[in-house]
Amino acid sequence: MNSRLRARGGATATRRAPFRALWSILLAGLVLASAPGAQASPAPAPSPAPPESAAGAPFGVKAGLYGLTTLTGGHFGYALKAGARIEDSAVIYNESDEARTFHVYGADVANAAGGGLAPAQEGGQMRGVGAWLKLDSEATVTVQPKGNATVRFSLAVPDGTPPGSYLGSLVTALRTPAVSGTVNTETRIARLVQLTVPGTADLRVSLTELEHRPVGGGDEEFTVTVRNTGNVLYTFAGTLKVTGGGAARTVPLTPTGIYVIPGGSATITGRLSGLPALGRRAVTASVTATVPGGATKTVESGTVRLSYFPWLIATLTAGAFLGLGLVLFITRKRWRARLRRRAEERTALRALRRELRAGHPPADDRREARTGGAEHP
């Protein structure tokens, strides 16, 4: 990389190689700039339309002591005691054919929604590394075409700063003028500034309650939030442990491998499929936090117990039995009434037969006999 920079004054063919290399640096730096709101911001007043080549012209930012005191990828990494101060620099490369003006500032870093890290917006109140990082020159830097400029800065750790990991960023912003009265677009490259204040490392991980909700296809989506309550930066990976209904299984929680700064948090989710129509399941979230090059710690959430029952089938079945029972009840009532009538008829018939055998006509026949005898002596 350094050899290609020394060859920058050569022929056009030699310039194409650093162009590709610096473009790779730019893409790597956009890890932080890709957070919501990092790409575009409205302009207070539109400017005249720029030349067509200016809008897409690349630029790059490299740590001044690249490969010596910085992290991989061109970021900055320091170990400083409380009250200590260090100086460093960043080099801005303008690969366009026009002079470009860049705005450079320090910013705190926070966990972004959905995972990852994002620098604070310019103008916000900085409380950590963003406030401790000071530029030694003007915040606005103009870089000539195909040239570069060095921006020097210092980082002073306040007295009494507790031991632990602290993250900030050095942000380089390029704003392109608006076209036809639309909004400005701002491209930012944020280089991480990772500060470690020596002392006792306190790796603490806490989890919120494991929540779940039904989703399409009969699946369940589980959500848990990981909180860094210690003083060291770590990454983590999580899984759902599912027991019940046979062999235990695990389901990954995503996203994974993201950083959580001290005092920060990140929410992860997992989807559980293949659930039974009838049965029980016990689900627990397990998260393993890892300090880069250091200790690890695994914590588990409370267990969520799920019971599955085919309520629709059970309701339909119960309704069918209820209807059948009602039909049987009505039919039985009618059948009993019919049996009573038949019993009464049989009783009357037996009584009539007994009277006939005894020579006593029925009551109606006796009245007719008496009436007939009076009229015909």
Most confident of 6-20, 37-51, 88-102: 88-102
What is the arithmetic mean of pLDDT over 180-187?
69
d(Cα 181, Cα 262) in Å, to the nearest integer?
A: 43
- At 368 the pLDDT is 53
Strands 76-79 and 185-197: parallel
Q: Name the residue among 259, 119, 101 with its Cα closest to residue 190.
A: 119
263 phi and psi, to 5 degrees? 85, -5
- At 168 the pLDDT is 93
Q: State pLDDT tens for residues 149-169.
A: 999 999 999 999 999 999 999
pLDDT at 229 over 80: yes
d(Cα 165, Cα 197) in Å, to the nearest integer?
A: 7
**Least confident among 10-19, 152-161, 224-233:** 10-19
Tokens, residue 125: 């109140």
Q: Name the residue among 170, 189, 174, 18 with its Cα closest to residue 100.
A: 174
Distances from the Cα of 376 to the Cα of 211, 363, 371, angstroms? 106, 20, 9
Q: Full-prediction pTM beyond 0.85?
A: no
Q: CB under 8 Å to 278, separation ≥6 — which residues?
A: 308, 309, 310
165 phi and psi, to 5 degrees? -105, 135
Q: CB under 8 Å to 164, separation ≥6 — which residues?
A: 196, 197, 199, 201, 202, 230, 231, 232, 262
- At 336 the pLDDT is 79
Tokens, residue 302: 């409370």
d(Cα 26, Cα 59) in Å, to the nearest integer?
A: 7
Q: Name the residue among 4, 333, 272 with its Cα closest to residue 148.
A: 4
Q: State pLDDT tens for residues 292-315.
A: 878 899 999 999 998 876 666 668
Q: What percent of the chain has pLDDT over 90?
A: 36
Instruction: Calculate the average pLDDT of the chain.
Output: 76
**Least confident among 102-106, 202-206, 216-220, 261-265:** 216-220
Q: CB under 8 Å to 160, separation ≥6 — which residues?
A: 82
pLDDT at 192 over 50: yes
**Least confident among 48-52, 247-251, 263-267, 371-375:** 48-52
Q: Which of the four pLDDT bands, split at 50, 70 and 90, describes residue 66?
A: low
d(Cα 140, Cα 105) in Å, to the nearest integer?
A: 9
Helix, strand, coil fractions of the chain, as percent rounded to 5: 25, 40, 35
Task: List the end-to-end C-alpha distance of the chain, in Å, as a whole number.
Answer: 153
Q: Which of the four pLDDT bands, split at 50, 70 and 90, describes residue 362?
A: low
Q: Which residue has the higher pLDDT, 358 or 171?
A: 171
d(Cα 79, Cα 44) in Å, to the nearest integer?
A: 41
The DSSP call for residue 254 is B
What is the arithmetic mean of pLDDT over 261-287?
89
Q: Which residue has the higher pLDDT, 14 or 99?
A: 99
pLDDT at 176 over 80: no
Cα angle value 18/19/25 (rounded, 5°): 85
Q: CB under 8 Å to 364, separation ≥6 — which residues?
A: none
88 phi and psi, to 5 degrees? -155, -175
